[in-house]
Chains A and B, each alone.
Chain A
Amino acid sequence: MTDKYEIDLSVRPGDDLQDEEMAETPEVTVKRKGRGFRSGDQRGEDTQGSVFTRLSTTEDTTSGKAMKSVEGWIVLITGVHEEATEDDVNDKFGDFGEIKSIHLNLDRRTGYVKARYPGYALVEYETLSEAQEAINQMNGAKLLDQTLACDFAFIKSNSSSADDRGRRGFTPRNKGNNTGRRTGHSNSPSRH
């Protein structure tokens, strides 16, 4: 085991981050928990020299914020009843155009103690007008007695915020330190 401590030098082996947060630094507003904060080893970004690829945006004025996918327009439907089937979704959403593909991701975990939750579906239309009509008609409508919410699944990138940390890597693990423990500890005399 070669655990390293990446940034926060005030952490000593054996320190319990969670208890410490709660007990000693009440002014710290972010509660942190988990072994991952102490892990200094490799994640994916170390081998990622290339940039993340994006689909290019078409210069059209009709789609607004909506973003076209490779073969069509994807509509997200939330609040889908846990017992709904693909046929149920097709019946309702097929009225606005042919559904080219459908992903119905419901919570079907067996033996789970809690009441089950509604899920969501993603459906693909070939044209923008079909997708837009489905959203207009079905957002707020009901399916198996449950109210749906519908919108485009993908939107155009707001590139100023998308590029703020560069395009190559993932967010560093210890982002959040500045609002979290480092600030809390820097003026904590009990540490040394």
Chain B
Amino acid sequence: MPSEEFYVRYYSGHQGRYGHEFIEFELHADGRCRYANNSNYRNDSLIKKEMTVSPLMIKELKRIILDSEVMKEDDHKWPRKSVVGKQELEIRLGNEHISFETAKIGSLVDVQASDDPEGLRVFYYLVEDLRCLVFSLITLHWKVKP
């Protein structure tokens, strides 16, 4: 199936007392979906899962991204990554390619307090939506808590 260049990748992590703890996932136009979660707390170990989603799922993912209008935003005024950690959102969609990097955001209070609350809110909600989607896929496909 010919389609425009498309993938999404999200990373959130930090270096801390329990080593490098992170979650990361990516979805590609061909349906490949990869997920990794590393938490050393209480001896939890690295989880790495891969699955393939259908074209309808990819279409829905694109809709979510297009509706969010995140491609119009810019991360230059967003909080910089810190010792608390960072988030990265990379999206390639047709001829546009973003790779946004910012600190971890605890809540909408952090969003409001930033220098670009409108843009950061778009990012915050989209990340919520993407995490929700991937967690649903993992939960249903593998019957594990992501």
Q: Which A residues form the contact surface with B (CB < 8 A)?
A: 18, 29-37, 39, 42-48, 50-55, 65, 67, 69-71, 74, 76, 78, 101, 103, 105, 107, 109, 112, 117, 120, 122, 124, 149-158, 161-162, 167, 170-171, 173, 175-176, 180
Contact = CB atoms under 8 A, between A and B. Distances in A.
Nearest to A47: B20
Interface in B37-66: 38, 46, 48-57, 59-60, 63
22 contacts: A32-B99, A36-B98, A36-B101, A44-B13, A47-B20, A48-B46, A51-B48, A52-B36, A52-B49, A52-B50, A54-B49, A54-B51, A55-B142, A70-B141, A70-B143, A71-B143, A76-B54, A105-B133, A117-B67, A122-B136, A151-B54, A171-B7
A50 B48 contact: yes
Interface residues of B, number: 59
B105 interface: no
Contact of A107 (B52, B96, B98, B129): B129
Interface in B128-146: 129, 132-133, 136-137, 139-143
A130 to B, nearest CB: 15
B48 A48 contact: yes
A173 B59 contact: no
Nearest to B35: A52
B99 A36 contact: yes
A76 B20 contact: no
Contacts of B136: 103, 105, 122
Contacts of B89: 36
Contact of A153 (B38, B50, B54): B54
A120 to B, nearest CB: 5
B116 interface: no
A152 B53 CA distance: 8
A67 B50 CA distance: 13
What are the 8 tightest A-B residue pairs by CB atom distance, in nearest-first order? A36-B99, A52-B50, A44-B24, A151-B56, A34-B99, A36-B101, A103-B136, A35-B101
A37 to B, nearest CB: 5
A1 to B, nearest CB: 8
B75 to A, nearest CB: 5
A93 to B, nearest CB: 14
Given A33-B98, A161-B32, A170-B36, A152 B24 contact: no
